[in-house]
Chains A and B, each alone.
Chain A
Amino acid sequence: MYSKKIQDMLASLGVEVGDKLRVKSKGDIYEGILMPKAELGDPNTLVIKLSNGYAVGLNFEGAAIERLGGHTEIGFKSREAKMKHVEGKSTISILSTGGTVASRVDYTTGGVYASYNASDLVSTVPELGQFNINSKFLFGIMSEDMTPEHWREIAKGVLKELKSDAEGVVVTHGTDTMHFTTAALSFMLKNLNKPIVLTGSQRSSDRGSSDSFINLLCAAHFASKSDVAEVSLVMHGSPNDDFCYAHRGTKVRKLHTSKRDAFKSVNDDPIAKVFPNGKIELVNKNYRKRSDSEVSLDDKLEEKVALIKVYPGINPEIFDFYLEKKFRGFVIEGTGLGHVPTTIEKDSLIPKIKEATKAGIPVCITSQCIFGRVHEFVYANLRKEFEAGAIFCGDMLPEVAYVKLMHVLAHSKNMEEAKKMMLTNIAGELNERTPVFE
C-alpha cells in the first residue's frame, strides 16, 4: 500500500493505479504505468512500469506527476469456458479449491491470486483435452486458510461428482495442508467406489517451470483409469519432471517447504507411480478397489481437538487452557517413541493426562519423529504415560490422528468407544506391519 500522503496526492490529481503517468523527479522524466505498491518496499516510493517492461521505484518527495491518459486494467480476469463432452473420451471431474496450483500471477503487479479455475488449468495443460472434464470451482483459498468447514464443503462436492458419470474426481488444493484434507476426506467418505485424487503444486501455474502441469496430468490419469477407490494425493515423485507418486491420503505428509517432491509416504509405500503419459505402475497392492458400492458422506466432526507438540521446557499449564475451554480431545506429538516429560514432578505431563482421561477426554500419543511407530512399553516412562490413560496410536501420523480424533469424537458415546475406534484402522491410517523402505 502507498502511504497516506501518496494516496491523497493521487486522489487529488484523479490518478488511479494503472494510469499512464509522467513523473518528474530531480529533473529527470519517467513515463509509465503506475503500479500498485507491494506489501514489501517503501510506501513513499512510487512504482512506475516503463515501456520496456521494467519497473522502477521513484521517491515521491519532490516528484511532479502528470496524467498522460490511458489506463491499464490491473488484475487477472478468469475466462470461464464451457467444455463440450466428446463420446469415447474418459470423463473426470476437477474441483478447484485454490492454492498455488490455482494461482495465477497478475502480470502487471506480480500479485498472485488463487483465482484460477479448472478450465483455466485445462488451457495451460492441453494434454487434458484427452478427457471430458466436469469442472467445478468450489472456492479459491490458500491451504493455510482451510478449516474443517472447507473439508465438509469439499467432501460434499466430491460426493456429488462420485455420483456422476465421472471415472474419478480430482481436487486441486494448496499443498501446505493437503494431507489434512486427504485424511479428512478419507474418514468422511464411506464405501468409496472411485478414485479421489488431490493434487497441487509447489510452483504457481503461471511459470513455465511449474510442477502443476505434470501433477495435474498425472492426477487426471490416476483418477480416470486407476483401480484405486481411495483418497490419494498425487504429486511429484522426484525433483525431475518425470513421474508422480500416488500416496495414500492417510499415510502422506508434506516434508519439505519448497521442493517439488515435498510429499512422501510415511510408514507405508506409495500406492503407485504415475507417469505423464498415463502409465501407472502399482507399488503397493494393498488398496481398496473400484466397485459399484453406494458411497455415503458422514461429515460430523468434533472440532474441539488440540494437537500439541512436546518440547523440552513445555509448561504443563497449557493443558489447563484447553481444559477450561472445554476441548474434548488431545493429540500429543511426543518425542521419540511417544514420550512426554514424566520424571520431574513440576514438568511432568502425566498429571494432565490423568486429569483429562478422568474427565473422559482422550489423550492420543503420536511421534514428532514422523517416521516410525510409538510404543507404550519400551521404557518405564512410556508405561507411566500409558497407565495414566494415554492412547498410543501406533504408526499413525500426528496430523492424521488429529483429524481422526475429530471424526471419532463425533461418533463415539464414551471414552472406551473412542479409544477402540482410534485403535481400529478405518481408512488405511494404521498399519500393523511397517514395510522396509529402500
Chain B
Amino acid sequence: MNIKMMGGVEIHQRLATDEKLFCSCSAQPKDGKPVGEIVRKQRAVAGELGEVDLAALHEYSRDRTYRYQIFPKTTCLVELDEEPPHPMNRDALETVIEVCLLLGSRVVDEVQVMRKTVIDGSNTAGFQRTAIVGLGGSIQTSKGEVGIQTICLEEESSGIVGEKDGEVTYRLDRLGIPLIEIATCPDVKDGEHAREVVEKLGNIVRITGKVQRGIGTIRQDLNISISKSGASEGARVEIKGVQELGLIGKIVEREVARQAKLLEEGKGLESEVRRALSDGETEYMRPMPGSARLYPETDVPPIKISREWVEEIRKKLPEKPEDRREKLVEELKIGEELAKKIMLSKNYPLFEKVVNELKIEPKLVAATLEETIVSLRREGAPVDNLNENKLMELFIEYKCGKFVKAAIPEVLRDVSRNPTQSISHSVEKLKLEKMSEAELRRIVEEKRKAGKSGKSLIEEMMREHRLRVDMKELSALV
C-alpha cells in the first residue's frame, strides 16, 4: 500500500506582554497559592445552525463541574467571566504583525475578534477569543517551501490542575495571556520534517524578543491525514499539546502507522482530536469540532490596522534567524555555540545595545549574558535582580576600566544579592578595582627583583591578582 501523508503543524506561543490580551492582569504568572476559587457549570448551547456543536455536546455529556482557582495579580473579574473583555492589547497585536511580516503573510486591514466555542471548561466564558491577523506566507525548509495558512492572536486557556469525580480544577492565572497561533498548510512531509518546521517557526517568533520563555510557554498541535495510492484523502486527525520537540517525529510516524492500519483493516477513519502523551503515543480526546464553533465577539470592537502602522513595524523588524546567526558568527566572531544561545535570547536587544553603543567585545557581552548569569543562577544567586539597567551599568563601568573581565562573575554575584547597591560600590567593597598601571608596574618590578620573569612571572601575577589584572596589559608589560 502506498501511503501518502498530509501534515500540518500549529504552534502556540505565549507573548511576553505586560498585561493580558483582554484585561489588565499581569500576563506573567508566578507560582503561588490560589487565594480563592469559584465553581461553575457549563452546558452545550445551540450553534450557528441551531444545532448543538458536536464537540460541545461531547463535553457536556460528561456533566462536569469546573473549579477555577483565583490568583492575586493574575485574576480579575474578566477571567471569572464576571466582567466584559477590555479592548485588545496593542503590544500583543504589534508582535503578531511583526511575525506576519517575518513570514511574508498578508496582514488583514481590520482584525475581527471571534468567539471559538470551547466547553471543556478551560475558558470560564465557554469560548476562547481569537482573531486572524495574517494569512498566507511561507518558510523555506530542507524539504521545500511550507506554506502558512493563518496567523492568529488568541487567549491562552486556563491551566488544568486536576480532575477527580467529575470535577475539573483549573487555574485562572494563565487564562487570557496573549498567544500567537501559526498554522501551516498541509505541506509537511514526515515526522522529521514536522520537527524542522516547528523549530523554524519557533525561531521566528522568538527572534522578535517578545515571547515568553520556559516550560509550557510554547505548544504544538499536529494535523495528520493520510491517503492511499492517490485515492481520496483520509480523515484529518488533530494531535494536541505536544510539548517536547524531540517527540514530534515519533508522534507523527506512529499516527501515520495507526491510520494506515485502520485503513488496511477496512475500518473507516474518524476525524478526531487526540492528545499527545509523554511517551510519543496519543490517546483519543474528542470528535473534531465542526465549523459552527466560531462567531463574532461583539464585546470587542474590530481593530483597524493602518498601512502606516504596518510600515512602522516593518522598519523596526528584526532580521530573520538565519541572517542574525550569520552576522553573529561571521561578522562579530562569536563562536557557533554562543551565537546559538544569544541569537534568540531575551537578552539579545541588550547585547546589541552594548555591542553597538559601548563597543565592547561581542564575545564577552554574549558570554556574560548567556553563560555567566546562567551559572550564577545555578549556584543559587538571585539573578532575577539583575535587570537591564543593572547590566548596562556593569558594562559601562567595565568600559570605563573600573574592573577587569575576570571580576565580572564576582561583581554580578554580589550585586544580585544587594540589588540596591551600585556596581562601582560593589567593586570597591570587594576590592576588585582594576590595578592601576603604576601599581602593576610596581608589583611586576618587585617580582623581577625576586628573580621572576617571563611566563612564570605572569603565572604568579595571575595566581595572586587574577581578578584585578588585565591579562593583555600584563603580557605587554612583561
Residues in chain A within 8 A of chain B (CB atoms) = 25-26, 28, 30, 35, 38, 40-42, 45, 47, 50-59, 77, 79, 105, 107-112, 123-124, 203, 205-210, 213-214, 239-242, 257-260
**Of all chain B residues, which has the CB nearest A259?**
B82
- Is residue B477 contacting chain A, with contact meaning CB distance below 8 A? no
Instruction: Note all chain B residues with C-beta closer than 8 A to A108.
Output: 48, 295
Which of B40, B48, B56, B131 contacts A107, CB < 8 Å? B48
17 A-B contacts (beta carbon < 8 Å):
A26-B106, A45-B304, A52-B150, A53-B293, A54-B294, A56-B108, A57-B304, A105-B295, A107-B49, A111-B298, A124-B45, A207-B127, A208-B43, A209-B42, A241-B40, A258-B83, A259-B77
A54-B114, A54-B132, A57-B302 known; A208 vs B45 contact (CB < 8 Å):
yes
Which of B56, B124, B135, B298 contacts A38, CB < 8 Å? B298
User: Which residues B431-469 have CB closer than 8 A to chain A?
Assistant: none
A56-B112, A206-B46, A208-B127 known; A240 vs B38 contact (CB < 8 Å):
yes
Which of B81, B109, B302 contacts A203, CB < 8 Å? B81
Task: Report the separation of the CA atoms of residues A203 and B115 in the bound assembly, to the nearest whole angstrom.
Answer: 14
- Is residue B93 contacting chain A, with contact meaning CB distance below 8 A? no
A40 touches B302 (CB 8 A): yes
Instruction: Note all chain B residues with C-beta closer than 8 A to A57.
Output: 108-112, 302, 304
B30 shortest CB reach to chain A, Å: 24
Instruction: Note all chain B residues with C-beta closer than 8 A to A52.
Output: 150, 291, 294
Which of B38, B110, B292 contacts A239, CB < 8 Å? B38
A209 touches B124 (CB 8 A): yes
A207 touches B295 (CB 8 A): no
**Of all chain B residues, which has the CB nearest A63?**
B109
- Is residue B159 contacting chain A, with contact meaning CB distance below 8 A? no
Instruction: Note all chain B residues with C-beta closer than 8 A to A25.
Output: 109
Which secondary structure dominates where chain A touches chain B?
loop
User: Which residues B181-239 have CB closer than 8 A to chain A?
Assistant: none
A208 touches B295 (CB 8 A): no
A56 touches B296 (CB 8 A): no
Per CB-CB distance, the 7 closest pairs between chain A and chain B, nearest first, are: A57-B110, A110-B296, A208-B126, A53-B294, A107-B48, A41-B302, A40-B301
Instruction: Note all chain B residues with C-beta closer than 8 A to A208.
Output: 42-45, 56, 60, 117, 119, 126-127
B77 touches A258 (CB 8 A): yes
Task: Report the separation of the CA atoms of residues A28 and B125 in the bound assembly, to the nearest whole angstrom.
Answer: 35
* Residue of B127, B132, B302 with highest tally of chain A CB at under 10 A: B302
A76 shortest CB reach to chain B, Å: 8
Instruction: Note all chain A residues with C-beta closer than 8 A to B295.
Output: 105, 107-108, 110
A41 touches B124 (CB 8 A): no
Interface code B7-40, partner A: CB below 8 Å = 1, 0 otherwise? 0000000000000000000000000000000111
A64 shortest CB reach to chain B, Å: 15
Task: Report the separation of the CA atoms of residues A111 and B112 in the bound assembly, to the nearest whole angstrom.
Answer: 14
A244 shortest CB reach to chain B, Å: 13
**Of all chain A residues, which has the CB nearest B112?**
A55
B368 shortest CB reach to chain A, Å: 45
Instruction: Note all chain B residues with C-beta closer than 8 A to A105.
Output: 295, 298
**Of all chain B residues, which has the CB nearest A79?**
B50
User: Which residues B95-120 have CB closer than 8 A to chain A?
Assistant: 106, 108-112, 114-117, 119
Instruction: Note all chain A residues with C-beta closer than 8 A to B56.
Output: 208
A109 touches B291 (CB 8 A): no
Task: Report the separation of the CA atoms of residues A206 and B47 in the bound assembly, to the nearest whole angstrom.
Answer: 8
Instruction: Note all chain A residues with C-beta closer than 8 A to B114.
Output: 53-55
Task: Report the separation of the CA atoms of residues A111 and B131 in the bound assembly, to the nearest whole angstrom.
Answer: 17
Instruction: Note all chain B residues with C-beta closer than 8 A to A259.
Output: 77, 82-83
